[in-house]
Structure 1
Amino acid sequence: MTKNLFPLDSTKPFTEQAILGHNRWHGDIPPAVTVKPGDVFRADCREWFDGYIKNDDSAVDIASAPMSIVHALSGPFAIEGAEPGDLLIVDILDVGPIPSEEGPLAGQGWGYTGIFAKNNGGSFLVDQFPDAYKAVWDFEGGYATSRHVPEVRYAGITHPGLMGVAPSKDLLSTWNTREAALIATDPDRVPPLALPPEPQDAILGTLTGDDYDRVSKEGARTAPARENGGNQDIKNFTKGTRVFYPVYVKGANLSFGDLHFSQGDGEITFCGGIEMGGFLDLKVDLIKGGMDKYGVSENAIFQPGISGPQYSEWLAFSGTSVTLDGEQKYLDSDLAYQRACLHAIDYLTKFGYSPEQAYLLLGSAPIEGRLSGVVDIPNSCATVYLPTAMFEFDVTPSKNGLHAIDPGIGAPKADNP
């Protein structure tokens, strides 16, 4: 049995654990655990909202979810001998929900997907879906089903949405400066362009007093991906993955969390994966001087895992960089992917799904998103691929006519306050 170096008690909140993690990026957050190159270990992970979201038929919790508390990260893990300029090797040996537990926390036999409201983070399709919705998914034998999105069943590609190393003082300053400049271009935008440092609800490991006050005002939010890895939300970042991180501080200070039972490419609902708590089994090692040797200084690189469901049949939808009201944009790949997703959503409604049910499905299921054409002016072309095997009926166009699903109780909604 792999030794658990970061155990979490499911009966206690994240802030009351024997070993305290963190929810901000800063190089001065002390390591919670120290390991050696070559070590193999387990760590428990709490889902990103630390139990705030419930297994029920309401989306009020999604609408009111406090963004200031995320993400609940396990770590930092210091690696003996790691120095700035090295590459940290992390092997994901195993990942899964909370073992052998059923209960009120996501990961205890269930997880959830949320469409976040426009005034609380929004989503990839926020203008079309401005309100909060939720789907709860049950786990059984590696498959997910939902009372809120009926007649689908699929195997998840389980992975951590967030993993990264601590930034140096200079790198942290770069993040805060460039993101503040972006916010200043439209400071009242809803949803905001970026999230600045926020002392409220900051969890900073064992820091106290003046050090806590200073770091809470400087620490970067964990929402986006950055040079250190961070919240990349890559669905193929699963068991068998090997990732290489540039090291910016002594010890590297590796942290991780935001586990997903499954997720579609893009995590398009914002809370788009099936969020859960669980565990990671990791192995760490170092390449001394690897940043210069391999030219990996401002990005993580990785070898995707080899496990997960292997789908062979797909139904794909395309989109181009033309807005819904017909305005032509120049090679806007983001817009093209939005249009592809909207085309898929519209198609699924013909079988009886509500647009919100279809959107929640695209965010949580292992769909594939691709940039199919980025050079043919003026239109980028993006595509979204739906595995046909996840549906319990023939979802392809047929001369026999449409299958009509029973939408059941539907996806719970909470209106914007």
Structure 2
Amino acid sequence: MVLSLAPTTMAPLPPVPAAARAVPGHNRWHPDIPGVAEVITGGSVRLECEGRPPGGEPVLCGPIVVIGAEAGDVIVVDVLGVGPPGGHPVPTGHPGVIGCAPAPHAVHTPSDAAPGGPAGAEGALLGRVRPGLAGYDQVAAQAVPTAARGREVGGCGIAPLTAGSRILLPVHARGAKLSVGDLHFPSRGALDCRTAALPGWIDLRINLTRRGIERFGITGPMLMPDPDTA
């Protein structure tokens, strides 16, 4: 994954140079997966994400820490553009998965682990929490795969978040820890997310709303897709 941070902008961010800092992706969710960058409310970020073969688990970019975000808040994420590596924005491009880290109490407990080793260790990618590092086994055992989170995360299984779309995401852990990935570039009118995801970039603008869960009664992602593709 390659990322670039920039001030708020209404236009997609410029291409990220090859020398930009690369960081590992993740295919599990856990509040202890370290953030790879921070963004202030109103800021924008470009993430370059890996692809996924058919049937494979989504490899996500992030997590992005939203400064000041606490459990009970809501982040408002605007999709500014989606495109292939080094290419121009694709109008139908959209992420297959987007969401915030789960609450600490929502991850697997030690009693959930299978005998003989961590329940989620096989095939687990945990960003900067790598095998051999302190804490890897515990995080791998507790981490939750995307499929197990259900409607706690948004994505094209609900509606395609093409450029011009907005999604409201409840915050469950300090910093929100926003992750996104599994990018798709279908032909217009063919928004099927079961096909292989391709590598590419996505530009997002993020705003923080304090106590948004209580104020707006949001219990899960609230999608506002681009009306031209909804």
Task: Say whether the fold is shared (TM-score over 0.5).
Answer: yes
Hey, what's the Cα distance between the residues in 2 that align with 1:19 and 1:8? 14
% identity of equivalent residues = 34
Change (3 A) 1:172 1:232: farther
What is the CA deviation profile of residues 136-172 of structure 1, one whole-angstrom value per residue up to 9, with x for unaligned ones?
xxxxx96xxxxxxxxxxxxx72210100100012122
Aligned to 1:254: 178
Hey, what's the Cα distance between the residues in 1 that align with 2:85 and 2:158? 21
Aligned to 1:165: 100
Shift of 1:227: 4.3
Hey, what's the Cα distance between the residues in 1 that align with 2:162 and 2:119? 30
Match of 2:25 among 16, 21, 24: 21
Shift of 1:223: 2.9
Shift of 1:225: 5.1
Aligned to 1:275: 197
Shift of 1:74: 0.4
Shift of 1:259: 0.5
Shift of 1:288: 0.3
Hey, what's the Cα distance between the residues in 2 that align with 1:160 and 1:277? 11
The 8 Å contact of residues 41 and 281 in structure 1, kept in 2 or not, is answered as yes
Hey, what's the Cα distance between the residues in 1 that align with 2:154 and 2:28? 11
What is the CA deviation profile of residues 37-59 of structure 1, one whole-angstrom value per residue up to 9, with x for unaligned ones?
0101211111124xxxxxxxxxx
SS at match of 1:223: helix
Aligned to 2:4: 4
Hey, what's the Cα distance between the residues in 2 that align with 1:99 and 1:72? 19
The TM-score normalised by the length of structure 1 is: 0.45
Answer with 1 or 2: which has the greater Rg. 1
Aligned to 2:12: none
The TM-score normalised by the length of structure 2 is: 0.78
Normalized per residue, the structure richer in helix is: 1
Aligned to 2:164: 240
The 8 Å contact of residues 26 and 220 in structure 1, kept in 2 or not, is answered as yes
The residue identity in structure 2 corresponding to 1:220 is: V
Shift of 1:234: 3.6
Shift of 1:230: 4.7
Map residues 12-411 of structure 1 onto 2, 5 A cutoff. Answer: 18-49=22-53, 67=56, 70-100=57-87, 157-173=92-108, 197-208=119-130, 209-223=133-147, 226-262=150-186, 264=190, 267=192, 272-273=194-195, 275-297=197-219, 299-308=220-229
Hey, what's the Cα distance between the residues in 2 that align with 1:197 and 1:307? 42
Aligned to 1:331: none
Structure 1 stretches of at least 4 aligned residues deviating more than 4 Å after TM superposition: none
Hey, what's the Cα distance between the residues in 1 that align with 2:74 and 2:213? 6
RMSD: 3.1
